[in-house]
Structure 1
Amino acid sequence: MGMPKKLKDFNLFDSGNSYRGEVEEITLPKLSRKMEEYRAAGMTGPVSVDLGNEAITLEWTAGGLLLDALLQYGARTHNATQLRFAGAYEDDDDGTVSAVEIVVRGRHKEIDMGNAKNGDDTKQKYTTTCSYYKLTIDNKPIYEFDFINGVEKIGGKDTNASIRRAIGL
């Protein structure tokens, strides 16, 4: 029997700038595959055909004004902003800490400036759409998705390499 590794602390970096003490919460990207059912003659049921990843977004909440992040709104390129989540997950059985890193590149789809009330806490919520995503745990690559270049790596294996080769890339 063992204890699960729990997030003990984290930081968010925005294009190299540390937001330590300024970001309160992050909703890490949800990974989801686009599937289409297919059923033809002789089949006794449908089979899901994998059409690749659904859109990837990262949502995060700042405890106040972040001028650098505000100025990134309306970026003209799909990968204008790089965000890096660095998390420390500790095992309460033996005290070992796993380093979890998520790097995304994209642009801010939405900035919610929140409510303004004298004396109350101020929060800004960001929704960042991603064209690139990479998850690393203890320096081991788990996932890497580069939508523009058709790269999809799982456990370090490029599962789309043969498709890119077949179309001359």
Structure 2
Amino acid sequence: MEIPLKTIDFSVFEEGKADRLATANIELPGFETLTTEISGAGVMGIIEVPSPGQFASQTLTINWNVIVRQAFSMMKSGQIALEFRSAQQIVDNTSGAVLAEGIKITFRGLSKNSNLGSLAKNESTGGTTELEMTYIKIFIDGVAVLEVDKLAYVFRINGEDQNSDIKKILGY
């Protein structure tokens, strides 16, 4: 069995560019399913019923150490495409071997908010860029484990289409 330990290091690229973005860290989006509250006869109390494959607003945040040119390219109108690569450290609990596994995240989104941060002697600015997610695909060691494309009605976990029944009903 492998036990995940930590992120060793990561890099961020704009799609089609070789230069890495000079980021402090990235806050990846969460996956909150939209729900409807039901109550009434035959229901003891209240139940929030999830809507399959329907997610609330999802924001990715780039945290910058200082003001850099790359932060301004994230303010443009239209789609922004990024690729994240991460090396994660894991340990094999049977052999004790410490290993690395690769994570790749392909992300597309729209510029939502930019904050330049503040200026203070000997400190980072703490600037941020927020992008509204429209697409994400996550690979672990080259195997796709999650894909969500909000504009193409795609929601796959480990290659399995989570919305296949709904898409069939809707004529997709």
Q: TM-score range by the shorter chain?
A: 0.7 to 0.9
RMSD over aligned CA atoms reads 2.3
Which range moved further: 81-90 or 10-19? 10-19
Give, in angstroms, the shift of residue 89 of structure 1. Answer: 0.6
- Paired AA for residue 29 in structure 2: P
Q: Choose which of 88, 97, 100 in structure 2 pairs with 1:97.
A: 100
Do the aligned partners of residues 162 and 82 (structure 1) sit closer, same or farther apart at CA in structure 2, a change above 3 Å counting?
A: same
Give, in angstroms, the shift of residue 168 of structure 1. Answer: 1.7
- Paired AA for residue 166 in structure 1: I
- Paired AA for residue 132 in structure 1: Y
**Could you tell me the TM-score, scaled by structure 1's length?**
0.84
Which range moved further: 131-140 or 118-127? 118-127
Give, in angstroms, the shift of residue 33 of structure 1. Answer: 1.2
Residue of structure 1 equivalent to 2:20: 19
- 2:109 and 2:7 map into 1 onto residues whose CA distance is 25
CA contact (8 A) 1:14 1:69 kept: no
SS for the counterpart of 1:39 is strand
Give, in angstroms, the shift of residue 91 of structure 1. Answer: 1.6
SS for the counterpart of 1:19 is coil
Give, in angstroms, the shift of residue 15 of structure 1. Answer: 2.3
Residue of structure 1 equivalent to 2:87: 88
Structure with a larger share of its residues in strand: 2
- Paired AA for residue 70 in structure 1: F
Deviations 1:124-149 (A, max 9, x none): 31111111111211112221111111
Q: Does 1:159 align with 2:162?
A: yes
Q: Gapped runs of 5+ residues in structure 1?
A: none
**Could you tell me the TM-score, scaled by structure 2's length?**
0.83
